[in-house]
Structure 1
Amino acid sequence: MSLKSSVLICYLCLLSPIAYADGLDGSRLSLNWIIPFGAILLSIALMPILFKSLWHHHYGKIIFGWTLVFIGLFNWQFGLSSTMQLVCHAILTEYIPFMILLLALFTISGGILIDSNIKGTPINNTLLLLIGILLASIMGTTGSAMLMIRPLIRANEQRQHRVHIIIFFIFLVANIGGGLTPLGDPPLFIGFLKGVDFIWTLQQMGLPVLLNTTLLLTSFYIIDRYYYRKEPQPYLNNNTESLVLNIEGKYNFILLILVILTVLMTAIWETNISIEFLYTTISLSNLIRDLSLIILIILSLSITTKSLRIRNQFHWHPMIEVAKLFIGIFITITPVIAILKAGNEGELSDMISVVTNSSGEPINNMYFWLSGLLSGFLDNAPTYLVFFNLASGDANILMSNFPTTLLAISMGSVFMGALTYIGNAPNIMVKSIANQSNINMPSFFGYMRWSISLLIPLFIIDSLVFIRL
């Protein structure tokens, strides 16, 4: 988004006379309010194919245009006050904290240069993916993806067939690998804040993550071996006698740990203290978290030399792309989430009702597929929360009486974020970094051909093995 656009939105926020504290009443909204969000999704999916040059140079303006259409229509229907409340709430309490966390992980991990002469063979690539998977549940999918993507690209920079490597990286490191602990992926972290035990997540998600990663890593090795044999003969014969590994910017590892601790501690810190800013209520713990992350960003930029970031092929473009795309998504997705939250009183009541049978018992497979498929196109964190509340909203009841239902929601929200580029924020960041490294990543639908053919069969296995009706 341009500076002028940001100033405009902030100015409009100042016009709002009352706080947007209670949220948007989804029971009052028709399905027509989903159209602007759908238009943004279609723009992301189709315009890079149909109007490649136009999209490349003006995608920020296009997203902002659809956002302004939504704001204008919402203002016409509900008035200036409600419109400004919605915009301020979306930006100040959701978009800005989201971007600050991404920026912290992106900046700090970009200050760590893992330089080695490791060659991108099938076994080495599989090991690099495995390391990324293990790190994802410790430092989060975004942190692990931003740390490991550059070493993986460097290991394969001489290869001609590399697209499949990045796609499996998105599947495994940016999504499924984070399913082991609440630190790994935002949906599980929200469950943790709602009372789901840390150990419960580890125990229940352990086998699904193990099965999925084992099957995907095996598939990757077979596919990568096939493409590896198609590489030019000089590349195949260029064997490295001994491994050389050099890590620079090690102080950034400490900053990454501090990011994790900051998010964890401020999230579990209960306080009723809050401030009013631009007519939006912001809790003290969230404000301290965001300010602390900004300080860590500044520290990383200060202690890391520019030459190291240049050698690490660090660019700001992935963050700029995510910022421009998600500003529109965060604003226009508001009525979609509100309608889902309205449950049986909203326009999507027919879809919501299919997760419960005539006896009032949860249909676990429907919880799995609905929470998952929606997470593939919506923000997976609020989608998790919608179905968590729909199932009971009480973590103790879900863990003791309906553990399979809670597992279904957790698996669907985490695993199926890999279905599209926008299913999880790291997906599109990895895609952008790969494009910057001259890897011609597939289009939105081109990526989905991979995800549908490889992931949907896997998710069917998940539903048969782990989820009972």
Structure 2
Amino acid sequence: MNRCAQLPTARKWAQPLSLLVAGLFASLPASAADLDGARLGPAWGLPFVGMLLSIALLPLLVPHVWHRHFGKISAAWGAALLLPLAVTAGLPTVGSLMVHTLLSEYLPFIILLTALFTTAGGIHVKGNLHGAPALNTGLLALGAVLASVMGTTGASMLMIRPLIRANDNRRHVAHVMVFFIFIVSNAGGALTPLGDPPLFLGFLRGVDFSWTVVHMLPQTLFMVGTLLALFFAVDTYWYRKEGVLPMDPTPDTPGLRIEGLVNLWPLAAVVGLVLLSGTWKPGIAWDVAGTSLGLPQLVRDGALLLVIAASLWLTPKGVRQANEFSWGPMQEVAKLFAAIFLTMAPVLAMLKAGEAGAFGSVARAVTSESGLPVPWAYFWLSGLLSSFLDNAPTYLVFFNLAGGDPQALMTTLAPTLVAISAGSVFMGANSYIGNAPNFMVKAIAEDRGIAMPSFFGYMLWSGGILLPLFALMTWIWFI
């Protein structure tokens, strides 16, 4: 098979990109016309709510329609925001919003995600282990450690396929995927700025790299350790109750061999490029229709595209086929998150407006009568919003609400910064869209024939398991 043929075709990627670039040909102003959250009413959040309800309900109510047309449905919700906005605020504002979303948010997000998806998908563990409870728990623990080194997305993409193969002769495996999302795709990334985008934003704003390790270690050990213990108990129950299938699609083998190790270099390059973009500040930037496009971002994203091409070219023939690698999960994430990024823009603008915005009650709830931040409120509000909004900008909103001074937040207000960090990272596991790897793990598992819980079914798992742990964490650290 021609390696170049593995690249997604322009047609497959056209729909999500067209959703974002449709307004680029409008008359654009010389500077960005940011949405004024103080002037927006709650009704501007309805397209975002509609997008969430579509993801939650349509796969249950009309599965065939959803799986064939989710890209068109996502584009329709994007249009439901952009058309009224064009009428009320004008085409220049719509054009600026489109440019900003495309250049500052969507493209960096999707390029990084594709780089991690591609490089991790080129590493194949040849042979198979038996997916017994002890082994599964060990794999989740390893994934949690890797999550703070290569990010929750990188660790998720690296570990999910071996875990699926190890359990492909199990009758009941949905719980394995759910706990994988809890632990590897979220909680494990809480120790370093490399682990999860919210912490990286804090690093860019001046939070020391080592501060996160020191101050988030107790909460992370509590979450990961408790979840691993709960998983072992649940997995043991199902393993003893249902056993294994008579025929194993990938029989267990005593020896394992890792193929595609050349992808460790591109994977390391991804981590290095992300760090470089946060630490290298040449002060060179270009204004594109009001959106500042810095040289570090251009270098990072351009180099990541080269990393993707290098991974596809260098990976030995047959490794991706052995991994059952396909672009389907990546295409699904690209289409859905294009609409999510667009429709969440007014919601984030209203949050950024603080007490002057439609969600002023949120700003008031995190501040005491004496004017001091309330850590438990920061933990729950940043967390609950991160469950449905992108947790990176949500973190930034609450970081600024708490004063935005990294020196004060790292010292006298350290409990507040811990609360914001913990809420943004841990509670990203509350829903499939709380963190990008959540949805990718779901898509990959379904692509491999695993019946994953529905949107609300997953939230029953997260509500029953995670919310009590968050309540206990609040009592121990944030009151």
Q: Tell me if both proteins adopt one fold, taking TM over 0.5 as the criterion.
A: yes
Partner of 1:333: helix, strand, or coil?
A: helix
Residue 409 (structure 2) pairs with residue 398 (structure 1): yes
2:6 corresponds in structure 1 to none
Q: What CA distance in whole angstroms lies between the structure 2 residues aligned with 1:360 and 1:168?
A: 39
Report deviation, 1:355. Answer: 0.6
* Residue of structure 2 aligned with 1:110, choices 84, 100, 121: 121
Taking the TM superposition and a 5 Å limit, the aligned residue runs for 1:353-392 are: 353-392=364-403
Q: Deviation digits for residues 414-458 of structure 1, max 9, x if unmatched?
A: 000000000000000000000011100010000000000000001
Residue 296 (structure 2) pairs with residue 285 (structure 1): yes
1:335 corresponds in structure 2 to 346
Report deviation, 1:233. Answer: 6.4
Q: What CA distance in whole angstroms lies between the structure 1 residues aligned with 2:385 and 2:252?
A: 48
2:179 corresponds in structure 1 to 168
**1:467 partner letter:** F
2:29 corresponds in structure 1 to 18
Partner of 1:356: helix, strand, or coil?
A: coil
Change in CA separation of 1:205 and 1:236 when aligned onto 2, cut-off 3 Å: farther
Q: Tell me if structure 1 keeps the 8 A contact 2:171–2:244.
A: no
Q: What CA distance in whole angstroms lies between the structure 2 residues aligned with 1:121 and 1:395?
A: 45
* Residue of structure 2 aligned with 1:251, choices 242, 247, 262: 262
Report deviation, 1:17. Answer: 2.5
**1:223 partner letter:** V
Report deviation, 1:301. Answer: 0.5
**1:297 partner letter:** I
1:311 corresponds in structure 2 to 322
Report deviation, 1:280. Answer: 3.7
Q: Tell me if structure 1 keeps the 8 A contact 2:20–2:101.
A: no
1:98 corresponds in structure 2 to 109
Report deviation, 1:10. Answer: 3.0
* Residue of structure 1 aligned with 2:147, choices 129, 136, 150: 136
2:96 corresponds in structure 1 to 85
- What TM-score results when the alignment is normalised by the length of structure 1? 0.96
2:7 corresponds in structure 1 to none
Q: Deviation digits for residues 13-52 of structure 1, max 9, x if unmatched?
A: 1323314536321111111100010000011011111111
Q: What CA distance in whole angstroms lies between the structure 2 residues aligned with 1:264 and 1:109?
A: 19
Partner of 1:230: helix, strand, or coil?
A: helix
Q: Tell me if structure 1 keeps the 8 A contact 2:51–2:339.
A: yes
Q: Tell me if structure 2 keeps the 8 A contact 1:20–1:89.
A: no
1:417 corresponds in structure 2 to 428
Q: Tell me if structure 1 keeps the 8 A contact 2:391–2:435.
A: yes
Q: Deviation digits for residues 50-96 of structure 1, max 9, x if unmatched?
A: 11111111111001011111110100110111011111111111101
1:121 corresponds in structure 2 to 132
Report deviation, 1:243. Answer: 3.0
Q: Tell me if structure 2 keeps the 8 A contact 1:115–1:151.
A: no
Q: How many corresponding residue pairs?
A: 467
Q: What CA distance in whole angstroms lies between the structure 1 residues aligned with 2:363 and 2:414?
A: 20
Residue 266 (structure 2) pairs with residue 225 (structure 1): no
Partner of 1:14: helix, strand, or coil?
A: coil
Change in CA separation of 1:233 and 1:441 when aligned onto 2, cut-off 3 Å: closer
Q: What CA distance in whole angstroms lies between the structure 1 residues aligned with 2:390 and 2:15?
A: 27
Q: What CA distance in whole angstroms lies between the structure 2 residues aligned with 1:182 and 1:121?
A: 33
**2:418 partner letter:** L
Report deviation, 1:234. Answer: 6.7
Worse-matched range after superposition: 3-12 or 149-158 = 3-12
Q: What CA distance in whole angstroms lies between the structure 2 residues aligned with 1:424 and 1:19?
A: 34
* Residue of structure 2 aligned with 1:461, choices 448, 472, 477: 472
Q: What CA distance in whole angstroms lies between the structure 2 residues aligned with 1:321 and 1:19?
A: 34
Structure 2: any 5+ residue segments left out of the alignment? 1-11
Partner of 2:242: helix, strand, or coil?
A: coil
Q: What CA distance in whole angstroms lies between the structure 1 residues aligned with 2:51 and 2:20?
A: 19
Worse-matched range after superposition: 64-73 or 303-312 = 303-312
Change in CA separation of 1:144 and 1:2 when aligned onto 2, cut-off 3 Å: closer
Partner of 1:387: helix, strand, or coil?
A: helix
Change in CA separation of 1:154 and 1:297 when aligned onto 2, cut-off 3 Å: same
Taking the TM superposition and a 5 Å limit, the aligned residue runs for 1:145-224 are: 145-224=156-235
Q: What CA distance in whole angstroms lies between the structure 1 residues aligned with 2:18 and 2:211?
A: 45
Q: What CA distance in whole angstroms lies between the structure 2 residues aligned with 1:72 and 1:366?
A: 36
Q: Tell me if structure 2 keeps the 8 A contact 1:16–1:84.
A: yes
Change in CA separation of 1:81 and 1:162 when aligned onto 2, cut-off 3 Å: same
Worse-matched range after superposition: 10-19 or 353-362 = 10-19
Q: What CA distance in whole angstroms lies between the structure 2 residues aligned with 1:398 and 1:448?
A: 32
Report deviation, 1:125. Answer: 0.2
Change in CA separation of 1:158 and 1:86 when aligned onto 2, cut-off 3 Å: same
Partner of 1:13: helix, strand, or coil?
A: coil
**2:400 partner letter:** N
**2:143 partner letter:** G
Q: Tell me if structure 2 keeps the 8 A contact 1:136–1:184.
A: yes
**1:450 partner letter:** W
Q: What CA distance in whole angstroms lies between the structure 2 residues aligned with 1:19 and 1:383?
A: 28
Partner of 2:241: helix, strand, or coil?
A: coil
Change in CA separation of 1:147 and 1:20 when aligned onto 2, cut-off 3 Å: farther
Report deviation, 1:302. Answer: 0.4
1:50 corresponds in structure 2 to 61
Q: What CA distance in whole angstroms lies between the structure 2 residues aligned with 1:242 and 1:56?
A: 36
Q: What CA distance in whole angstroms lies between the structure 2 residues aligned with 1:95 and 1:266?
A: 16
* Residue of structure 2 aligned with 1:437, choices 448, 454, 459: 448
Partner of 2:24: helix, strand, or coil?
A: helix
Structure 1: any 5+ residue segments left out of the alignment? none
Q: Tell me if structure 1 keeps the 8 A contact 2:33–2:97.
A: no
Q: What CA distance in whole angstroms lies between the structure 2 residues aligned with 1:237 and 1:43?
A: 36
1:426 corresponds in structure 2 to 437
Report deviation, 1:275. Answer: 2.3
Q: What CA distance in whole angstroms lies between the structure 2 residues aligned with 1:70 and 1:451?
A: 30
